[in-house]
């Protein structure tokens, strides 16, 4: 038997909203992808319009019932699951998934918060435009979710994070009032930027119900190369050189380690390095530009200049879309190979770009003092965002290292903090990293966050326990 | 005799800070460029370090003395001048103007808030990078000022507003605590985005003392064209076509009206249209890219395709740097010609891009009902940001229309609001547009702004009367 919200609240909500707003609460709403959090119940409400969201929020405030907003359910930090405390309303935006309008001549698209990211991408492509936010979970993740968590992905280097792709918001504030902020403007200095405050607040300051999104011209020419570098430091030098050669056409710049190819050999032998010997370090570089751009030419120029500078020893440049896809498949399958090996501990971190070599070297050295691991370090090196994942040696399993996990996490996060980095680069804080935020976050910023939270949501009912500890 | 702060406060501040922090208060600190506001006095304090700013803020809180932050003094909305209320501290950052560090390999530069914009641009160029924020006042405007007001300028289309160029901030909060948020990270989801809250808050939520700024690769190839279009609507179609042809290399896309050339003929005859007949509407387009980019080729392709589509009837493409500079000089001298004519009323507005033709047509028709004017409408059409300025007919002067000015302003601003636009596109709110914000701003957003202001600055001492009405 699932826990239930207070009966008088449920009665009031059911009287105020249409029948369609009350789908059955399935188990999916009480779990998260990695199984770290499980909710114990609640009332699932799926409003069909912004006004219905506002009605629900007002009733929840009147009855002091917490609200957990739920997007695509793909978050990895427990932001969408409330495992403890008073029984909440689970607010799903799944019935609000329309593309409200597309303005190709403005490079703007306006969508409901429940619209699925992949559908928004497609709607942009349908009018010859690009919505560049791209994530592994784009088939399920919603616009409201990617904005609430300020999601990242593979195109951040060129196009920015989710917040950089949002021109305006519509939201229901904690008191149930609707903020009509769906502006389609590129320049607007009418007061504090409430948009950027709600983006990344993970539903703790209000419910995003709609967004005006920024589109880009759809690139007409596209090229991909895999270049072999000696070291992460050489990869950074290559990035700087690529800036000179290819400017803003660099859409992705992803580091791949030899460990990734080793894991492929063990778990997915069909994935093979197109280079012999298998490189200890390589970079996948993706260039995209307008019709006059010559991506193969730019990649060849880059390769020649990088080889001359001693940065690159070998490489392959895709000569067809199929070859480009095959190179991207190497990068995209790394997480799957990792999953098959089974990590002891995984870390989504960022550091200043120039600290990347130091981070990789020092973290590896320090972890050797804890245990004997294999490390697969890869990711969005152009953004300073690495996935630094720790695995057992062959013949051992993650279970063999269970006790070491907290020490590994602390070791990696302490180093990230020492180097001026972030222990939550693109996944958000959710409930998983509230303690990390308290430990590593700036105390003055933490105090300001608490003051803002208390001012806008004095009863602490909006996604309590996410980002900031719930008041007890 | 200038008004003075309370003697006990001044004594305490002079005891706490070194002698060098107390330059003489000159008249420049009590005026603003258009002469709309004049302060009546105060204590000028120019701290030499962030800790000294913090000391000053703590003392001001203890003695309930308001603080007016002062950057380069170039703001046009009175944000830097407090004309009424308790006598304030005028806090100048002019002694904190160092470039603290440059990280070319990270595309990051860290500067004191008092650093002058042009010096930051130069420091970036010195290492082969671009800091793209570019404004008429860049020789005086400071980094703290451009961030506090979220300044715009000519490169917003490609690189964004000031806020988009800032990775991290150091700031003294209203209670005198220092927020150490000078991160150099591209991805960081550690809690609410306090950076974006302080940017654009015009000193009402804290004092920005330092910033980590985002640099870009320095474009290697550069091209400029002036293309003749039939109408603003054709200019927008041309912008969309340019996106297909030139993608992200479009650095500026500026509308010029025939009225601008008419004003040149009257006031600056050396500035001549390079086309005959003088075009009623034209667009200055600037393309810039990496070494492999061919800007002349792209402009020629754009011209050919636009001519074929009936969007462009004539045009000139610069064949040298000198010709490019001459085309840019036309755009850059429009404000000077306007000044010589003498405007009745000037408006810094933005509307959704697709509403630009409607705005121009409707505003002109409605103003004809108020009086007989000449209108010079020009500006950053690629951003939806127009300068819509109203002038007397030949033989009449602005003084002849003095009484009509409020009606003109209301007419233009009401229309902007109807079309979903902003009456403060790039200049901020300051003290000039507080009433506009109350009239046109979303009431729910206004309430949230007030709640945030009261939570972070409960005594209302940080730049009182700017953005939000001062509590009485």
CATH code for the domain defined by A219-339: 3.30.70.2190
Locate the chain A residue with the closest alpha carbon to B469.
A191
A342-427 placed in CATH 3.30.70.2740:
yes
CA–CA gap between residue A211 and residue A110 (Å, rounded) = 6
B7-92 placed in CATH 3.30.70.360:
no
Instruction: Specify the DSSP element, H or E, that contains B60.
Output: helix B50-63
Please say whether the beta carbons of B470 and B464 come within 8 A.
yes
CA–CA gap between residue B334 and residue B347 (Å, rounded) = 14
CA–CA gap between residue A311 and residue A227 (Å, rounded) = 9
- Beta-carbon count within 10 A of B384 CB: 28
The DSSP secondary-structure symbol of A383 reads G
The DSSP secondary-structure symbol of B75 reads -
Q: Which residues of B touch A289 (CB under 8 A)?
A: 247-249
Q: Which residues of B touch A298 (CB under 8 A)?
A: 290, 292
Please say whether the beta carbons of B111 and B210 come within 8 A.
yes
Distance from CA of B467 to the nearest CA of A (A): 6
Closest partner residue to A456 (CB to CB) among B384, B424, B448 is B448
Give me the pLDDT at residue A63, please: 98
The DSSP secondary-structure symbol of A354 reads G
CA-closest candidate to residue A22, choices A111, A119, A89: A89
Closest partner residue to A189 (CB to CB) among B219, B352, B428 is B428
CA–CA gap between residue A89 and residue B404 (Å, rounded) = 55
Please say whether the beta carbons of B21 and B71 come within 8 A.
no
Q: Do B290 and A384 touch (CB under 8 A)?
A: no
- Give me the residues of A, 106-165, that contact B with CB < 8 A: 106-108, 128, 149-150, 152, 156-157, 160-161, 163-164
Tens of pLDDT along chain A (472 residues) come to 588 999 999 999 999 999 999 999 988 898 888 778 888 889 999 999 999 999 999 999 999 999 999 999 888 888 998 888 899 999 999 999 999 999 998 999 999 999 999 999 999 999 999 999 998 899 999 999 999 999 998 899 999 999 999 999 999 999 999 999 999 999 999 999 999 999 999 999 999 999 999 999 899 899 999 999 999 999 999 999 998 889 889 999 999 999 999 999 999 999 998 999 999 999 999 999 887 788 999 999 999 999 999 999 999 999 999 999 999 999 999 989 999 999 999 998 999 999 999 999 999 999 999 999 999 999 899 999 999 999 999 999 999 999 999 999 999 999 999 999 999 998 899 999 999 999 999 999 999 999 999 999 999 999 999 999 998 6
CA–CA gap between residue A133 and residue A159 (Å, rounded) = 8
DSSP for A47-59, written as a single string:
-SSHHHHHHHHHH
Closest partner residue to A455 (CB to CB) among B248, B429, B455 is B455
Those residues with Cβ within 8 angstroms of residue B308's Cβ, 6 or more apart along the chain or in another chain: none
Q: Do B185 and A350 touch (CB under 8 A)?
A: yes
CA-closest candidate to residue B291, choices A219, A221, A242: A242
Give me the pLDDT at residue A17, please: 98
Tens of pLDDT along chain B (472 residues) come to 588 999 999 999 999 999 999 999 988 898 888 778 888 889 999 999 999 999 999 999 999 999 999 999 888 888 998 888 899 999 999 999 999 999 998 999 999 999 999 999 999 999 999 999 998 899 999 999 999 999 998 899 999 999 999 999 999 999 999 999 999 999 999 999 999 999 999 999 999 999 999 999 899 899 999 999 999 999 999 999 998 889 889 999 999 999 999 999 999 999 998 999 999 999 999 999 887 788 999 999 999 999 999 999 999 999 999 999 999 999 999 989 999 999 999 998 999 999 999 999 999 999 999 999 999 999 899 999 999 999 999 999 999 999 999 999 999 999 999 999 999 998 899 999 999 999 999 999 999 999 999 999 999 999 999 999 998 6
Q: Do A189 and B384 touch (CB under 8 A)?
A: no
Q: Which residues of A touch B219 (CB under 8 A)?
A: 247
Those residues with Cβ within 8 angstroms of residue B298's Cβ, 6 or more apart along the chain or in another chain: A290, A292, B223, B245, B246, B249, B287
CA–CA gap between residue B13 and residue A337 (Å, rounded) = 63
Give me the pLDDT at residue A170, please: 98
Q: Which residues of B touch A103 (CB under 8 A)?
A: 352-354
DSSP for A238-259, written as a single string:
HHHHHHHHHGGGEEEEEEEEHH
Give me the pLDDT at residue B1, please: 59
CA–CA gap between residue B212 and residue B66 (Å, rounded) = 28
User: Token match 């870390």: residue?
Assistant: A347
Please say whether the beta carbons of A81 and A73 come within 8 A.
no
Distance from CA of B457 to the nearest CA of A (A): 10
Those residues with Cβ within 8 angstroms of residue B173's Cβ, 6 or more apart along the chain or in another chain: A444, A448, B57, B179, B205, B206, B456
Q: Do A352 and B149 touch (CB under 8 A)?
A: no
Tokens of B363: 């505003």
The DSSP secondary-structure symbol of B41 reads B
Please say whether the beta carbons of A424 and B188 come within 8 A.
yes
Number of helices (H) and strands (E) in chain A: give both, helices first: 14, 17
Q: Would the CATH topology of A219-339 be identical to that of A342-427?
A: yes
B418 touches chain A (CB under 8 A): no
Closest partner residue to A455 (CB to CB) among B128, B161, B454 is B454
H runs (alpha helix) in A215-294: 232-246, 258-267
Burial letters B153-187, b for 16+ CB under 10 A, else e: bbbbbbbbbbbbbbbbbbbbbbbbbbbbbbbbbbb
State the count of interchain CB pairs (< 8 A) between A and B. 318
Q: Do A188 and B422 touch (CB under 8 A)?
A: yes
Closest partner residue to A181 (CB to CB) among B292, B293, B445 is B445
B99-217 placed in CATH 3.40.50.300:
no
CA–CA gap between residue A428 and residue A425 (Å, rounded) = 7
- Beta-carbon count within 10 A of B214 CB: 21
Give me the pLDDT at residue B174, please: 98
Ranges of each domain in chain B: 7-92, 99-217
Closest partner residue to B187 (CB to CB) among A193, A220, A385 is A385
CA–CA gap between residue B71 and residue B94 (Å, rounded) = 7
B244 touches chain A (CB under 8 A): yes
- Beta-carbon count within 10 A of A399 CB: 9
Locate the chain A residue with the closest alpha carbon to B449.
A192
- Give me the residues of B, 289-308, that contact A with CB < 8 A: 289-294, 297-298, 301
- Beta-carbon count within 10 A of A213 CB: 25
Locate the chain A residue with the closest alpha carbon to B178.
A444
Please say whether the beta carbons of A313 and A325 come within 8 A.
no
User: Which residues partner with B210 through β-bridges?
Assistant: B112, B170
B22 touches chain A (CB under 8 A): no
CA atoms B431, B432, B438, B444: torsion sign: negative
Burial of residue A20, with CB atoms counted within 10 A of its CB: 0-12 exposed, 13-18 middle, 19 or more buried: exposed
Closest partner residue to A149 (CB to CB) among B178, B189, B239 is B189
CA-closest candidate to residue A135, choices A72, A219, A82: A72
CA B342 to chain centre: 21
Give me the pLDDT at residue A177, please: 98
- Give me the residues of A, 188-207, that contact B with CB < 8 A: 188-194, 196-197, 199-201, 205
């Amino acid at each position: 038997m699932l826990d239930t919200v207070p009966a008088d609240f449920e009665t009031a909500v059911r009287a105020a909203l249409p029948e369609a707003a009350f789908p059955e609460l399935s188990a999916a709403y009480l779990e998260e992808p990695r199984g770290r959090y499980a909710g114990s119940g609640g009332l699932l409400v799926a409003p069909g319009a912004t006004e219905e969201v506002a009605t629900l929020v007002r009733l929840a405030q009147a009855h002091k019932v917490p609200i957990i907003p739920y997007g695509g359910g793909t978050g990895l930090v427990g932001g969408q699951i409330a495992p403890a405390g008073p029984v909440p309303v689970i607010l799903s935006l799944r019935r609000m998934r329309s593309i409200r309008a597309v303005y190709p001549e403005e490079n703007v698209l306006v969508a409901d918060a429940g619209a699925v990211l992949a559908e928004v991408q497609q709607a942009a492509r349908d009018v010859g435009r690009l919505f560049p936010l791209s994530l592994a979970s784009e088939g399920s993740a919603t616009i409201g979710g990617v904005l609430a968590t300020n999601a990242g992905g593979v195109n951040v280097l060129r196009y920015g994070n989710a917040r950089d792709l949002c021109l305006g918001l519509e939201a229901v504030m904690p008191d149930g009032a609707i903020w009509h902020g769906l502006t389609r403007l590129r320049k607007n200095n009418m007061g504090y930027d409430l948009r950027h405050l709600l983006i990344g607040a993970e539903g703790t300051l209000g419910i995003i119900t709609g967004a005006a999104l920024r589109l880009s011209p759809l690139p007409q020419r596209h090229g991909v190369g895999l270049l072999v570098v000696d070291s992460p430091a050489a990869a950074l030098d290559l990035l700087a050189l690529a800036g000179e050669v290819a400017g803003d056409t660099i859409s992705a710049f992803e580091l791949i380690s030899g460990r990734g190819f080793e894991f492929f050999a063990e778990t997915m032998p069909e994935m093979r390095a197109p280079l012999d010997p298998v490189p200890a370090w390589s970079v996948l570089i993706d260039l995209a530009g307008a019709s006059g751009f010559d991506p193969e030419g730019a990649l060849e120029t880059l390769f020649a200049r990088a080889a001359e500078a001693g940065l690159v020893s070998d490489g392959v440049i895709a000569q067809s879309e199929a070859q480009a896809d095959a190179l991207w498949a190497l990068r995209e399958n790394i997480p799957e190979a990792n999953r098959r090996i089974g990590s002891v501990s995984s870390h989504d971190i960022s550091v200043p770009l120039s600290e990347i070599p130091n981070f990789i070297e020092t973290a590896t050295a320090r972890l050797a003092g804890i245990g004997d691991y294999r490390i697969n370090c890869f990711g969005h090196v152009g953004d300073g965002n690495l996935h630094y994942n720790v695995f057992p040696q062959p013949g051992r399993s993650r279970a063999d290292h269970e006790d070491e996990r907290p020490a590994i996490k602390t070791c990696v996060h302490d180093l990230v903090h020492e180097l001026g980095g972030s222990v939550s680069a693109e996944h958000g804080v959710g409930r998983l990293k509230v303690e990390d935020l308290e430990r590593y976050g700036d105390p003055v910023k933490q105090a300001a966050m608490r003051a803002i939270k208390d001012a806008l949501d004095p009863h602490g009912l909006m996604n309590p326990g996410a980002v900031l500890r719930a008041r007890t």
